[in-house]
């Protein structure tokens, strides 16, 4: 019975560790997708004279969660007649990323209305900031993985020792 309890505790801590690692990977992948879609948006703004709702809808096609639905949500809001700034900001608040990224990408909504040069400059500033954030996140990942592994499995080992 004690051995079974110990295995269950170890499995529980392992599941918690795997869940956190999965969340970390999902947030990192979301950052990568955000950078890619904002770069594509900047390129298309420079190359086409397409209305923004149509451009956002085109960019949302073929994109996975959560970036594809985020772009589609902004496009739908603009087609309903909502203001760009409020639609962009509301959609950004639902992105599954840390608050600093939500704020930075949300603030881009203020820069998306204006001339082509200003819009592209604003997008470039945000994508550069996101790239730096991603680099820092990847550097922190190694330390975080070690710490999370140590905490989860040390805690499990301590509980197992106490049970035995």
Q: Which residues contact 64 (CB under 8 A, 6 or more apart)?
A: 33
Helices (H), 80-163: 84-92, 99-111, 116-163
Distance, CA of 4 to chain centre: 38
Domain residue spans in the chain? 2-163
DSSP for 6-50 reads HHHHHHHHHHHHHHHHHHHHHHHHHHHHHHHHHHHHHHHHHH---
* Per-residue model confidence as pLDDT tens for the chain (164 residues): 767 777 777 777 778 778 878 888 888 888 899 999 899 988 888 888 788 888 888 888 877 778 888 888 888 888 998 888 888 888 888 888 888 888 888 888 888 877 888 888 889 999 999 999 999 888 887 777 777 777 767 776 776 676 66
Instruction: Say if residues 73 and 91 touch (Cβ distance below 8 Å).
Output: yes
Select from 125, 133, 161 the least CA-distant residue to 39.
Answer: 125
Alpha-carbon gap, residue 129 to 101, rounded angstroms: 9
Q: How many CB atoms lie within 10 A of CB 46?
A: 12
């Amino acid at each position: 019975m004690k051995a079974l309890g110990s295995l269950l505790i170890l499995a529980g801590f392992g599941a918690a560790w795997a869940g956190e690692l999965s969340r970390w990977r999902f947030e990192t992948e979301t950052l990568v997708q955000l950078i890619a879609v904002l770069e594509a948006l900047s390129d298309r703004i420079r190359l086409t004279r397409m209305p923004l709702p149509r451009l956002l809808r085109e960019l949302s096609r073929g994109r996975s969660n959560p970036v594809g639905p985020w772009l589609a949500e902004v496009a739908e809001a603009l087609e309903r007649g909502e203001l760009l700034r409020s639609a962009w900001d509301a959609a950004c608040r639902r992105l599954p990323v840390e608050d600093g990224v939500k704020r930075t990408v949300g603030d881009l909504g203020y820069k998306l209305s204006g001339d082509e040069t200003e819009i592209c400059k604003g997008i470039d500033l945000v994508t550069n900031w996101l790239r730096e954030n991603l680099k820092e996140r990847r550097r922190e990942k190694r330390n975080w993985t070690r710490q999370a592994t140590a905490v989860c499995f040390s805690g499990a080992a301590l509980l197992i020792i106490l049970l035995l």
